[in-house]
Amino acid sequence: MGQLTVNTQKGSYNVHIGEEVYDLFSSDYHELLMNADKVAIFADETAGALHLEKIEHSLQSANIPFVVHILPAGEKIKTPECYISCQSFLLQHNFTRHSVLIAFGGGACGDLTGFVAATFMRGIPFLQCPTTILAHDSAVGGKTAINMPEGKNMVGSFHQPAGVLFKPSLFKTLPEREKRSGMAELFKHALLADQDWTESLLLSPSFPNLSEELLTVELEKGIRVKAEIVAQDEFEHGVRQFLNLGHTLGHAIEAYFGFGEVSHGECIMIGMAYSLILSEEFGEISPEFTSRFIEFAFASGYPMEAIAKVEFNPLLQFMKKDKKVHSGEMVFVLLEKPGIPFTQTISEERCEEAYKELKIRLKKGM
Amino acid sequence: MGQLTVNTQKGSYNVHIGEEVYDLFSSDYHELLMNADKVAIFADETAGALHLEKIEHSLQSANIPFVVHILPAGEKIKTPECYISCQSFLLQHNFTRHSVLIAFGGGACGDLTGFVAATFMRGIPFLQCPTTILAHDSAVGGKTAINMPEGKNMVGSFHQPAGVLFKPSLFKTLPEREKRSGMAELFKHALLADQDWTESLLLSPSFPNLSEELLTVELEKGIRVKAEIVAQDEFEHGVRQFLNLGHTLGHAIEAYFGFGEVSHGECIMIGMAYSLILSEEFGEISPEFTSRFIEFAFASGYPMEAIAKVEFNPLLQFMKKDKKVHSGEMVFVLLEKPGIPFTQTISEERCEEAYKELKIRLKKGM
C-alpha cells in the first residue's frame, strides 16, 4: 500500500493508495471512528450503486456503526439545495460536533461532503474515499466547495480531511469519459512538475487507459505533486495558484455548458491548450510543443471540437467571475516550460486573440 | 476611544469602542478597504433604516466606494435562503476573493455576514460594526453561523473579523426589549468572570438601562472577558465552552418559540436561572443567590413567566440537538460560584427535575 503525508497548518494527514486501504478502518482510523458518536457515509448514486458494499463491509468488519446518505451523481450534488439538505439530514439523525463523515464518490461528492463537514456545527472531521481518478486531485488539499448558479466552486472552505483512501480497482468501472476527465488533472500535475514525466505521458500509447499497476504509480506521483504544493501554500496565496493551470478557461467552459454537461477534466484539457498558447508568448513554450499536446489530446479522445462552437464573450463573463480575478484583471497560470509555472496578468484583448488562435489550432489538429 | 486586542491563531485584531470608531475607516482600516476591489455593507433593515447614513458618511469621507445590501432584521436573516442569496448578490456584483464585507446591524446580521465572508470563495475579510448591545458578544470571537429549521447556529465557521467597531450612541435607539437582550449576555460575562462585578450589577438600580458612559465601561469589561477566553481557546475545545452558560436551555426555548419570537438574551436569562439551580447541587451556589438573581431578572423586566407555560419534553428534544451534546449526554456550564465556571454532564431525569424546580422558583419570584 502506498502512503504519503500532507502537512498542513492544523497538522498532517495521510493519503493511502492500494487495494487494502479500507482495512485501515480497523487500524489507522479505528480510533477516530470509534470515538465518533455518529458516522455517516455520503455516497454519490454512481459509487453507491457500484461499490457501496465494499466500504460498508469494511466498516462492519471494524465494528463501526454508520448511516448512509445517497446523493445525486455529478455536479448536481454541489447545489446549495443539496448542501442544505445534507445539513438537515445530519441534524435529523442527531449528529453532533463529535460525529464524522466519510465521502464516498467522485470529486464532486468529496467537495460537497467536505464543505458539509467544514460547516456542520462549525466543523467536524471527514475522510475522503474517492471512487474516481479525477478525485485524486480534489480529495487532497482541503479545498471544499459548492457551486452557485453564477459559477463553480464559488462558496466553500479550506477543510483538510482526516485521511484519504484510494482504492484503484474501483476505477475499473469508470466510463471512458470519466477516465479522460481524471487523467487530465494527472497530466496537469506532470506539466507543473516535470518535463521528463510530461514527455513520457505524451508518448504513452495507452493514455488515458493505463493498466491498474501503472495507474497506481502515476497517481501516487500526481498526489505527491499536489501534496507538496499544498504543504507549501495551504490557503493559495502563492504557489498553490499554479494548480489552477488550465482552470480559468476550463471552468468558464464548464459553467457555459452547465456543470455536468461536459466533464471537468475535458474542459481542463482545453484550458491547458489555451494556457500553452499564451505560454508561447509569455513563456518559452514552443508552438511545436503545443501542437504535440493538442494532437495527444485528440488521440486520447478528448472532445476538443466542442469548444470551437463557443463564442469568446460569454466565456469572458464567466472568467471574470473566476476566483483568480483581482481588481478586474485576469490572472493566468502559464509555463516557462514544463515544470516551471508562473502567473501572468493578461488583458481581455490578448485573451480574446489567444482564444481565436486556440480555435484555429484545434481545427488544424482535427 | 477604548481599544483591546483579540489574539487568535491567524493573528490578532482590535475591538474599538467609542463615538469616533468609524473614523478608523480613514486610518487603521484604510489600507484593508482601499486594497479591496469591492466593499459591501451588509446592513439589517433596522440598523439600515436608523443609522445607515452614519457609516456611509464615514466611508465616503475615507474615499472608499461601496455597495449596500439590506437584509431582513432579526433571525430571519440567518436562514439558509438568505445565506445563499447573499452569495448570489456578491457574485452578481462581481465580488472576488480580494473583496471585503462590513456587517452593520445586530448580532444576527454579524453572524450571517461573517459566515458569508467565511465561505465566499473560501474566505474573505470582514469588519464587524454592531449596532446592538447584544452584538458586543457575538461580534467578538469569530463564531459565525446560520440557523437550520432543526436548530440555531447549526451551520457555520470560525472566521475572525478584521476588526470590530462599537459606537455606543447607536444603542440609544434600541427598544427596551433589545437592551434587556444585550444586557443578559453582559451579565453572563460578569457571572463567568468576577463575583464583585456580578454583585455590583445585581445592585445596579438602572439595569438594563445604564447611562451611555457606564454602558461603555461595562461593555469594555464584557468584551475583555470574551476576548481573553477566545484567545485561550479559539475553537471551543476547552474554556470557551463556559461562554455557553445559560445557552443550552436558552437556545432550546428560543428554538421552541421560533427564533425571533422571544429575544436571545431573554432566553439566556432564563437559561442562567436554570444553570444556577443546577449549580446549587453540583456547585456552591446558594438558593439565596439564585433567588436574588431571579428577583433581579423580574425587576429588570425580563419576561420570565413565558417559560412557565412550556413543557419539558419539547425543550429536551431541542437540547439534545445542542452542539454541546456528546454521545447523547447533555453537558451544562455551571458555577462553583460567580467567577468559577465548570462543565457538568447531567442526566435527562435530573434536567427535568431542575426544570420543575425552576418553574416553582419563577412562580415565587413573580
Q: Is the peptide bond before A130 cis (omega within 30 degrees of 0)?
A: no
Mean local confidence (pLDDT), B92-97: 94
* Of residues A95, A103, A59, A39, the one with CA closest to residue A77: A103
Please state, for a pLDDT cut of 70, what percent of chain A lies above it. Answer: 97
Averaged pLDDT of chain B: 93
Residue A155: its H or E element = strand A151-158
Query: Do the Cβ atoms of A37 and B148 come within 8 Å?
Result: no
Which residue of chain A has the CA closest to B118? A157
Question: In Å, how far are A248, B106, B186, B210, B230 from B217, measured between CA atoms?
Answer: 52, 20, 11, 10, 20
Q: Which of B157, B236, B323 sits opposite A119 (nearest CB)?
A: B157
From residue A226, how far is each of A140, A234, A265, B184 by CA, in Å?
7, 11, 16, 49
Percent of chain B clearing pLDDT 70 (strictly above): 97
The verdict on a CB contact (< 8 Å) between A98 and B145 is no
What are the structural domains of chain A? 2-172 (3.40.50.1970), 175-365 (1.20.1090.10)
Name residue A323's amino acid. Answer: K
Chain A partners within 8 Å of B122 (Cβ): 143, 145, 156-158, 236, 323
pLDDT tens digit sequence for A225-279: 999 999 999 888 889 999 999 999 998 998 888 766 788 899 999 999 999 999 9
What is the pLDDT, as a whole number, of residue A302? Answer: 93
- Residues of chain B positioned with their CB less than 8 A from the CB of A121: 154-156, 323
* Under 8 Å between Cβ of A277 and A354: yes
Q: Does the pLDDT of residue A9 top 70, yes or no?
A: yes
Write out pLDDT tens, residues B39-49.
999 999 999 99
Q: Cell 489555451, residue?
A: A274
> B146, B156 in Cβ contact below 8 A?
yes
Residue type, A329: E
How high is the pLDDT of residue A185?
A: 94
Q: Which of residues 307-336 of B touch A (CB under 8 A)?
A: 320-321, 323, 325-328
Residue-averaged pLDDT of chain A: 93
Does the distance separating the beta carbons of B96 and A155 come in below 8 Å? no
H helices within B106-246, ranges in order? 107-119, 135-138, 176-193, 195-202, 212-232
Is it the case that residue A326 has pLDDT exceeding 70?
Answer: no
Are A18 and A45 contacting, i.e. CB atoms less than 8 angstroms apart?
no
pLDDT tens for B273-309 read 999 999 999 999 999 999 999 999 999 999 888 777 8
φ/ψ (deg, to 5) at A207: -60, 135
Task: Please check the confidence at residue A35 and state whether its pLDDT lies above 90.
Answer: yes
Nearest CA of chain A to the CA of B104: how many Å? 22
Q: What is the pLDDT of residue A324?
A: 67
Q: Which of A119, A143, A144, A159 to mutate to test the interface with B (most CBs of B within 10 A)?
A: A119
Chain mean position to CA B199? 22
Q: Answer whether residue B82 shows pLDDT above 90.
A: yes
Over residues A94-104, the mean pLDDT reads 96
Residue in A96, A115, A328 closest to B323 by CB: A96
List Cα–Cα distances, A346 to A62, A310, A360, B174, in angstroms.
54, 20, 20, 51
Please check the confidence at residue A82 and state whether its pLDDT lies above 80: yes
pLDDT digits 0-9 by tens, B152-203 = 899 999 999 999 999 999 998 999 999 999 999 999 999 999 999 999 999 9
**Which residues of B are known binding-site members for Zn(2+)?**
185, 247, 264
pLDDT at A178 over 70: yes
Mean pLDDT, rounded, for B221-232: 92
| Residues of chain B contacting residue A94, judged by C-beta atoms under 8 Å apart | 320-321, 328
Give the pLDDT score at B258. Answer: 78
User: Which of B180, B219, B174 has the alpha carbon at shortest distance from B304?
Assistant: B180
Tell me what pLDDT residue A321 has.
Answer: 75
B3-31, pLDDT tens digit by residue?
A: 999 998 888 999 999 999 999 999 999 99
- Reduced 3-state DSSP string for B40-95: EEEEEHHHHHHHHHHHHHHHHHCCCCCEEEEECCHHHHHCHHHHHHHHHHHHHCCC
User: Does the pLDDT value for residue A323 go beyond 80?
Assistant: no
Position A259 scores a pLDDT of 67
B105 pLDDT above the threshold of 80: yes
